[in-house]
Structure 1
């Protein structure tokens, strides 16, 4: 992942984002990782991470339910000398502890841009400056999350974590990503499988 440039918090993509080649494992790309009450790392307490890329080379995901209320997207736009559109803007999310100065936009794939990663048939990810410009001008993606930082795993690291207490893997749901209130996402993601995540403790890490 590249760090940000002089533009501020939104780095310009210099090439097309592509998924790692020829995975030799069952890819979790497009799935949710839901932290269980047994999660040993307090940074991931009650988190839902959307996996954007996963192969034998490692994995990358974005936490979708941890807004940072200390500053706003309007401030980001003003700092980039972009207009602030009318209406309510979504919060800024902390996508993970890695490269917090780097920004990502996760959005429904009915919006298209030149440089984007198609995570699923309905969800794409970009670091392209044009997406932020389009949002400022009122013709960007209708549903999106603006995130700073990401969560990353080296080769085999995520697989090791999945056999320990900490993560539950479930299919992702676009409604949970873009529509549901942030304080409901953690329980709702697990409840897709009828699991009460607040009391979960016996079965973990299955796809």
Structure 2
């Protein structure tokens, strides 16, 4: 795969009928994709029973001025590990720039900055991630599983969580109600 074919900065959409219930209507912000594998953060489902204030308190940070927002289900891997997808107006140790989409931070620094009102202007938080080994995502892309949409900061930061899947399809010029759960072969 050439660098142009890698999916960093794109939004991965689960196709209907992909066969893995963990990814039903999933929207995944692709943060890393290269010859070694891929990592993305799910942005299309809320993690039930956990709020941002609760998470901050669990790690010993006073919520301060941070709004108490839902925590997203970032994916099935390392579900207790937190990730913050945010605008590029803030950066800290280990912050990864995701070209054209956002920045990704996984340190306590970003949580403290948000609580202190000195963090990024736009952000969301997720627990867990979706990961693929070398060549694994490419194989899934060839089967009925995923669609790689253009990355959109507006989808990340301005679209309600439950509307992101359909809104991303519509942004690609596709009416999601016309998608089918099976593919054919010629």
What TM-score comes out, normalization by structure 1 length? 0.82
Measure how far apart 1:33 and its partner are: 0.7
RMSD between aligned residues: 1.9
Match of 1:185 among 157, 161, 164: 164
For the Cα contact (< 8 Å) 2:101–2:152, is it kept in 1?
A: no
Measure how far apart 1:90 and its partner are: 2.2
Unpaired segments ≥5 residues, structure 1 = 1-22
- Alpha carbons of structure 1 residues 60 and 123: separation in structure 2 relative to 1, 3 Å: same
What is aligned with 1:112? 91
What is aligned with 1:79? 58
For the Cα contact (< 8 Å) 1:37–1:198, is it kept in 2?
A: no
Q: Are residue 148 (structure 1) and residue 123 (structure 2) matched?
A: no
For the Cα contact (< 8 Å) 2:9–2:100, is it kept in 1?
A: no
- Structure 1 or 2: more helix by fraction: 2
What is aligned with 1:93? 72
2:9 and 2:65 map into 1 onto residues whose CA distance is 32
Q: Deviations over 1:114-173 (max 9, x none)?
A: 321101145110112111111111211121111111000111111111111121111110
- Alpha carbons of structure 1 residues 38 and 110: separation in structure 2 relative to 1, 3 Å: same
Matched residue of 1:183: which SS? helix
Match of 1:67 among 40, 46, 68: 46
For the Cα contact (< 8 Å) 1:24–1:56, is it kept in 2?
A: no
- Structure 1 or 2: more strand by fraction: 2
What is aligned with 1:103? 82
Measure how far apart 1:86 and its partner are: 3.8
Matched residue of 1:71: which SS? strand
Q: What are the equivalent positions in structure 2 for 1:127-206 lying under 5 Å apart? A: 127-201=106-180
Q: Deviations over 1:51-107 (max 9, x none)?
A: 100011111101101111312111111222222234633211111000111111110
- Alpha carbons of structure 1 residues 94 and 113: separation in structure 2 relative to 1, 3 Å: same
Q: Give the count of matched residue pairs.
A: 182
For the Cα contact (< 8 Å) 1:37–1:46, is it kept in 2?
A: yes
1:117 and 1:63 map into 2 onto residues whose CA distance is 17
Give structure 1 regions of 4+ aligned residues with deviation exceeding 6 angstroms.
Answer: none
